[in-house]
Chains A and B, each alone.
Chain A
């Protein structure tokens, strides 16, 4: 068995805001193997981004309380000093953010911003770093890279800027890339291009990828494993093929039903999941999904369902899973 590149055990990330405690991430466990792609799926507010930010330790320390373990190559990142974390950031683990329009510093050229990432982590002179930046720009498909490296972010479109972000994140050849909805803010026409680019380069650089998305179509296309998050917890995870073939959790089923289907009848209306994600500072006692679940019974409102581990590393957190499972 392979040693996982990243293993998260019972991670809790709680925000203490005044007297309220917001349980943004509440006891999740996932593991990612080298070179593998894992998709983190869920609607807004389910804790996907907070999970990624917890790994990078980018959350404001004053109000954040983190517990559990985040083992990167066997070392617990939550116990590392800031110095050790800085050494990992950008070099071993990188991140691409959701908003390309605001994620680049308006005051520096993109060449400077890429070569800066090179220079923090390796002892090279300015010229070498700059050349590396230009090379990366070519790699992410920016035409006339030599000239464009001298341009500022405001001179580029959103798609271009996201390409630059990809260049920054991969320039040090990291082992893990966290992509936090990298295409959400982009035009539909550009989305596929950017996604293809990330997948292609991740493969080329042999970088493991955690793709945060709410688009199940993307998941089916690119990931080997997936975890479905709801209200700070993972309700179901497993190999993508298995989960798609036979989803066990009612929430996963709901998500899949809300994708428009080509073979659906004309009159068939798109399925929606009624209700909204519960308030993370006042979570119900039982299953967090119970209020929106059409299969919910008495027990669901009283007791939180424990995670059941099934065959093929499949996990589900539901009292009454669907699709027939033998335990």
Chain B
């Protein structure tokens, strides 16, 4: 098993190199010259040249890439060309916000998705089944930003139940321990902060998780339907087990194997791809940082954010692989 993990970790190197190279090239070849953004269109040539010198843009592109790579390996992702702040620091500061949002979203999606999927499969072709699957179809089809806006209109503007944006009310931040507000609030026993953070979190998390919920529910339904027709389910019933044990112990465990892959992929996507949700709800995470970076052609910022997202995605997939061999004993740690 350890050998398998190490091999997978080694595979990370070429993948991340590829991600870095691709982002670097895209940012340098196809976007607006950052000097133009910083200095404006009417700057003098001397000032532009001076700035290019300062940013290292006058060197050949492979040298720039080499410099970037060697710095990145030491954990230095450079400075924002706009704010001049360290990108590594900024990413680290924002990372917990994204993690908290994504984990909550995937948590909701997993619980709801599996539950809906199982009930749908067990009660196949009932009104319940049709209702769930139509809802799931809507969940897959609705763009997150649209759903997010509708939720804001309904719950914040019309009903006034939930805050429309941000992570927590100003001045209520709990003491930082993990950076996850819910956890920190619990650890410090600050119930006010917990409730407030929860109110801010729930709407973006549901919006972000809606697509994953639908995907997981559909997948669970499909694999459950296949599993409950298996011979070993008949064996389980023939032993005299209750239907609850037959479904949740014997069927679900086998049906979940493919679902875990989907959950893993979704989690990777949510951790990195909360871009739209974070923007709609002004969530101070990696996604909104990335979007702002793109808007102002802040190339080191974009590169840093994409690299982080890529790393997370690959690591989450590794985690799924490991979990997989636990769920399915036939996959013996190759």
A-to-B contact residues, CB < 8 Å: 56, 58, 82, 86-91, 94-95, 97, 99, 102-108, 116-117, 120-121, 152, 154, 165, 168-169
Contact = CB atoms under 8 A, between A and B. Distances in A.
Nearest to A120: B240
Size bin of chain B's contact surface: 20 to 34
Given A89-B240, A90-B240, A107-B253, A168 B235 contact: yes
A91 B231 contact: no
Main secondary structure of the interface of B (DSSP, over half): helix
A102 B237 contact: no
A106 B238 CA distance: 17
Nearest to A106: B330
A106 B235 contact: no
Given A106-B254, A106-B329, A152-B330, A86 B231 contact: no
A105 B329 contact: no
B232 A106 contact: yes
Main secondary structure of the interface of A (DSSP, over half): mixed
B231 A102 contact: yes
Nearest to B229: A60
A89 B239 contact: yes
9 contacts: A89-B237, A89-B238, A90-B238, A99-B231, A103-B235, A107-B253, A117-B239, A120-B239, A152-B330
A268 B68 CA distance: 88
A105 B236 contact: yes
Interface string B136-167: 00000000000000000000000000000000
A90 B237 CA distance: 9
A88 B230 contact: no
B228 to A, nearest CB: 10
A105 B241 CA distance: 14
Select the residue from B232, B254, B330 with max chain A CB neighbours within 10 A: B232
A95 B234 CA distance: 10
B241 A120 contact: yes
> Nearest 4 pairs between A and B by C-beta?
A90-B240, A89-B240, A90-B239, A102-B231
Contacts of A88: 240
A224 B231 CA distance: 30
Nearest to A59: B234
B200 to A, nearest CB: 40
A241 to B, nearest CB: 32
Nearest to A89: B240
